[in-house]
Amino acid sequence: MRVLSGIQPTGRPHWGNYFGAIIQYIALQDAEQAYYFIANLHALTTVRDKSLLRQYSLDAARDLLALGLDPHRAVLFVQSDVPEVSELCWILLTGTPMGLLERCHAFKDKKAKGLIADAGLFTYPVLQAADILAYDSDTVPVGEDQVQHIEVCRDLAGSFNHQFGEVFVLPKAKVLDNSARVPGTDGEKMSKSYNNTLAVFEDAKAQRKQIMRIATDSRPMEDPKDPASDILFMLYSLVASERECEELAAMYRHGGFGYGDVKKKLAESAEAFFADARSRRNDWESRPDDVRDILRAGAAQARTKAAQVLARAQEACGLKGI
């Protein structure tokens, strides 16, 4: 099994990113081979400040390393350091129907909201397909909202193979665990767009203050409550042990407690849960050259593989051998 996943460098990771995706990506690094890249070409559609994009890209690498990605077991690199992917993207674009891209969710949603949808967003699924196909990836972990893009990738690869011969491996989506969906501090899905996030690497004291400000209902303390429908309990269940969750659930059902007590438990458990990752993050922060060395070594490995796939595609469609 060859796994591929990309992380857009558009800001620091929050609990939704971690529990909803990153922790599941990293669990797959023991596959036969795993490629993880910092998707700075994709991020360029939204981040237009060069210094910020560079910083976000380096930070994303530090974050992944701190959260458990092991460069000895997986290939970590920056997307733009593998130019073969961009060339492969153009080859795929030449055979991509406009109608296929017009039906993609990201483009349709932005257009429906009256927002400017540029060519980068429009062709995003094709670059994503090139990212996947360049490494002969057969497994791509994605959320439900990204499954369509894997289907687009399969369509493009299948069409190319039909026309020019068996060049590309057709990947399959590995849909991430839906139970890992994380509520934001307002009860909606945790998202930077909603400004309702809890950052993974936030200072513990600052995060405690943020947790203590989470709005709760006004039911009397003595009333029993359903833990499954409560934001605080759902967040607590992510960072506490199974035994601790059972004890808190029993307290909810019995009643006779204040939400302030739950918030304190949540803050304490979160601090303990992320303590090691925050310590590792501080260590990587002090070693930027080591991070860059890892990214360079990863890019060299990725380019070797991507060059092989690109050469197959070029030969098949007549771009080589003139």
208-259 tens-digit pLDDT: 999 999 999 888 878 898 999 899 999 999 999 999 999 999 999 999 888 9
User: What does the pLDDT read at residue 257?
Assistant: 86
Q: Residue ranges per domain, the chain?
A: 2-181+287-317, 192-281
User: One of 108, 189, 209, 305 is an active-site residue; which one?
Assistant: 189
pLDDT at 178 over 70: no
* Domains 2-181+287-317 and 192-281 agree in fold: no
User: What does the pLDDT read at residue 22?
Assistant: 92
CATH topology of domain 2-181+287-317: Rossmann fold (3.40.50)
Asked about 110 being catalytic, the answer comes back as yes
Asked about 189 being catalytic, the answer comes back as yes
Q: Which residues, listed in sequence order, are joined to residue 174 by a DSSP beta bridge?
A: 141
CA distances from 87 to 47, 68, 142 (A): 22, 32, 24
Amino acid symbol at 121:
L
Q: Report yes or no on whether pTM surpasses 0.85.
A: yes
In the predicted model, what is the mean pLDDT of the chain? 93
Helix axes of 124-133 and 147-164: crossing angle, nearest 10 degrees = 70
Residue 179: pLDDT band (50, 70, 90) is: low
Handedness of CA 119, 124, 125, 129 (dihedral sign): positive
Residue 31: pLDDT band (50, 70, 90) is: confident
Amino acid symbol at 16:
G
Mean pLDDT to the nearest integer, 178-200: 87
Asked about 192 being catalytic, the answer comes back as yes
Are 3 and 132 spatial neighbours (Cβ–Cβ below 8 Å)? no
pLDDT at 176 over 90: no
Are 276 and 221 spatial neighbours (Cβ–Cβ below 8 Å)? no
CATH topology of domain 192-281: Tyrosyl-Transfer RNA Synthetase (1.10.240)
Query: Considering the chain, what percentage of its residues have pLDDT values greater than 90?
Result: 79
